Structure 1
Amino acid sequence: MKKMTTAYRVSEIWQLADVYYIRRQTKIHGHSVDHRMEFDEDFNEKYHYILLAQGDDPIGTCRVNFEHQDYGKIERVAILEKFQHQGFGRELISAAEDWIEDKGFAKAVITSVDTAVGFYEKLGYTPNYEIKYEDTDFPIVYMAKQFKSIDQREVG
């Protein structure tokens, strides 16, 4: 039986510490991403993160960017290796989508590594191979998902 998880909209330092722990373990150690590239935040800016955890154990994280006028963008998605392929990625993306919808957006965007495209397609994202990313160390695919508008949602 899977233990209960909590998706935090990060607001406390301990949560942020877990976010950075996950990103360090998965991106820098797991994929050999340069730490200056992975930790690209500006110290004086506010960033929005989701932390997925089971009790005191961090599982995964993502950054949610609300700076665009037409959509919310899900960035820096990471699940610790021992928790992968157990449904936690789906749970994390769902929490990010909920936050994006709560902010009034009807669309989410993810720029995905090419190896994760199938995962995001299963969650309803559509790849757009026309959009190219030149300044990356690995192939990136632009993906988008349109949410149902408030008028289209079932009332129940």
Structure 2
Amino acid sequence: MQVIRAENTATRAGAYYVRIQAMAKKYHITLEEEFDEHDNDETKYIVILDDDFPVATCRFYEIEDGAVMIGRVVVLPEYRERGLGSRAVLSAEEWAGELGYTRAVLESRVEKTGFYEKLGYIADCDNIIEGGTFRCVHMEKSLL
């Protein structure tokens, strides 16, 4: 498995492919809902490849000075339970740290908070976000 920082159209297409296959199709999320205003040239994408085939991804973007929002953490179903989601998040955190960010924020699906807690994120259970598809919890982690 190879972790890449998707910095051009071709590698970003890999991130989009994984998101369409593993999330949009499964949960009947429209392309307009899946690809939002944060999918732009400033957004950073991590893609994990298996022999040049994209199998996992996540993205991050600045939300305020010193903080990034990590999201759209997705692994193709046949590649789950191999640590690729964790690897994608940790790679995003590393890149964000290199760029000078000191805090990572995310909105985890309620049922997935344990995954992020294992990576050091702290849930704010008083901050539940009612989305169109999922109920999410605000979580944060220091990158220092």
CA deviation map 1:40-97 (0-9, x unaligned): 1378753221111122121111111124213111011111111111111111111001
Higher strand share: 2
Q: How does 1:57-68 map to 2 (within 5 A)?
A: 57-68=53-64
1:3-55 Cα offsets, whole Å, 9 max, x none, are: xx222111122211111110100111122222211011378753221111122
Question: Aligned residue for 2:23?
Answer: 27
What does 1:1-156 align with in structure 2 at a 5 Å threshold?
Answer: 5-41=1-37, 45-148=41-144
How many Å separate the matches in 2 of 1:34 and 1:68?
28
Q: SS at 2:58's partner residue?
A: strand
Which entry has the higher C-alpha Rg, 1 or 2? Answer: 1
TM-score after normalising by structure 1: 0.84
Q: Which 4+ residue blocks in structure 1 deviate beyond 6 angstroms?
A: none
What is the rounded CA distance, in whole Å, between the counterparts of 2:24 and 2:31 in structure 1? 6
Does the CA contact (< 8 Å) of 2:42 and 2:61 recur in 1? Answer: no
CA distance in 2, matches of 1:127, 1:48: 24
- Change in Cα spacing, 1:114 to 1:81, as seen in structure 2 (3 Å) is same
- Give the Cα–Cα distance (whole angstroms) in 1 for the partners of residues 48 and 38 of structure 2: 23
Q: RCO (CA 8 Å, sep 6+): is it higher in 1 or 2?
A: 2
TM-score by length of 2: 0.90
RMSD: 1.8
2:31 and 2:15 mapped to 1: Cα distance?
14
- Identity among equivalent positions (%) equals 31
Q: Distance in 1 between matches of 2:38 and 2:137?
A: 24
* Structure 1 counterpart of 2:3, one-letter code: A
